Amino acid sequence: MVWYPSRRRGTIGRMTEEHSENAKSAAKPELPKDVRVRFCPSPTGTPHVGMIRTALFNWAEARATGGKLVFRIEDTDAQRDSEESYNQILESLRWLGIDWDEGIDVGGPHGPYRQSERTDIYKDVAAKLFEAGYAYESFSTPEEIEARNVAAGRPKAFGYDGYDRNLTEEQKAAFRAEGRKPALRIRMPDEDIAFDDLIRGTIEFKAGSVPDYVIVRPNGDPLYTLTNPVDDAMMDINVVLRGEDLLSSTPRQIVLYRYLIELGIAKQTPLFGHMPYVMGQGNKKLSKRDPESNLFNHRDAGFIREGLLNYLALLGWSIAPDRDVFSMDEMIAKFDVRDVKANPARFDIDKAISINAEHIRALEPEDFLRRSVPYLHRDGVVSADNWDALTDREKAVLTAAAPLVQPRVRLLGEVAGMVGSLLSTEGYIEPDADARKQLKDSAADVLDKAIAALEAVDESEWKTDPLHELLSKVLVEEGGYKPRLAFGPVRVAMSGRRVSPPLFESMEIVGKDVTVARLKGLREHL
């Protein structure tokens, strides 16, 4: 026989092997009419891309179906949880624009929304499970479990063997007399357990493959195995979208839901969808400690929310076979979690940066500038960290530079390198090493000719096109230099960089005096 969650609210049906085989060939299950999903991270570190991908897919499913997203915090691990991490999770969601309908800072009818404030609820549910016989006291220590496995010829780490299932009251009393305190374990049924995964189709776990598991530690602390399903049940969550790493715990939750339904605590067994792993370099699962996993590293580098969310959406899902760049509104219009692929997704930083560049180019120029200013201030090229507080000159230079720079940067962190020379009034900019390598033996002659020609230009004629025409005539037509050799030294003098905004537009922005001073400065340092 197979325990199989019914799609009707409030029941879990018993299926024959024949029915189970039919389920295997069926389509992925229909979604509930009123979808309720949740995002429930543990505050144990800096937000990472896997966590945010989970939040994004839950958010997209809620918005696509007109459902609700519940945001709660699972903070019952006092040794690992931190308030700093909690605040970082909130900061990351707000930065990305992932909002929620119920939960932290929003409220709702099912609070509180931090597990550390729900201890009495878990104690009450655990007591009811014990009184009903669904849970039992277990006195075995890990060392005793391992020793029994070895004695029975099983691997040491085989897992719990059910030893305490049928202890007599005398045996329990003897353990207590030794000073032992029991854990509480859920009694798993001796049947196969199957469910229809929204992403992977029907999945079955054979009888005996999932041992009785602990829901309350001997010290009375509730575990994730209890708190997570209880919260989902009491918050009426009917679709659970989470990572593939939690797939092995699903049969435990399905059984616990059955017990909670029978106790009148749960209304239904939710549908489950297990999202694919996010892989890093070398086809290894992307570690939380990998720099590429750290969400704030990407923000610090200059990803904008639209670009990063777009790329994270591609880690298991696509809007169309031939399309990678889209807005969140477009994602919501098309998203269905049943279209998510089960195969692992690889985090490709180069592709992520490329997609971010597309979204930067799509920004309105004023929006681009306002978002860039905090990075410019961080890198020391403007006087304030917001647009309104900048000087008039800074605003004028940046406004003129925006159409030159915006199409050429991929990350907002690159803007400072592009506009720093335009904002500077220095008469000499020390060239970067790779820029100096571009200077050939002809650089001195090129700079001498350019300086002589530019010094004769009237301020009123100091415009992009006339400057281009003049230097083309002096250096290319009359000087006989190819454009690369003709304009390369001038570019290096103006910006100190190998890659810079368009040369003649830059010369117009910084003006005649600074331009000539920079050419003379480089000439002196050759």
- List, in order of start, the domains of the chain with CATH numbers: 117-275 (3.90.800.10), 363-423 (1.10.8), 433-525 (1.10.10.350)
What is the model's pLDDT at position 289?
Answer: 82
Residue 390 in contact with residue 373, Cβ under 8 Å?
yes
Residue 241 in contact with residue 273, Cβ under 8 Å?
yes
Among residues 45, 32, 53, the alpha carbon closest in space to that of 98 is found at: 53
Please provide residue 277's backbone torsions phi and psi, each rounded to the nearest 5 degrees: -60, 150
- The question of whether 334 is a catalytic residue gets the answer no
In the numeric block, the tokens 């909002």 are attached to: 99
Cβ neighbors of 458 (< 8 A, separation 6 or more) are: none
Encoded tokens for 485: 């050799």
What is the H or E stretch that residue 383 is in?
none
> pLDDT under 70 in the chain at which residues?
1-27
> Is 68 annotated to bind ligand?
no
Cβ neighbors of 59 (< 8 A, separation 6 or more) are: 39, 69, 98, 99, 100
What is the model's pLDDT at position 197?
Answer: 97
What is the model's pLDDT at position 4?
Answer: 57
**Torsion of the alpha carbons at 17, 19, 25 and 30, rounded to the nearest 10:** -130
**330-361: buried (b, 16+ CB within 10 Å) or exposed (e) per residue?**
ebeeebebbebeeeebebbeeebbebbbebbe
What is the model's pLDDT at position 151?
Answer: 94
Residue 482 in contact with residue 472, Cβ under 8 Å?
no
Q: Kindly report whether the global pTM for this prediction surpasses the value 0.85.
A: yes
What is the model's pLDDT at position 483?
Answer: 96
What is the model's pLDDT at position 5?
Answer: 64
**258-287: buried (b, 16+ CB within 10 Å) or exposed (e) per residue?**
bbbbeeebbbbbbbbbbbbbbbbeeeeebe
What is the model's pLDDT at position 6?
Answer: 45
Catalytic residue among 123, 288, 449, 520: 288
What is the model's pLDDT at position 19?
Answer: 34
What is the model's pLDDT at position 2?
Answer: 55
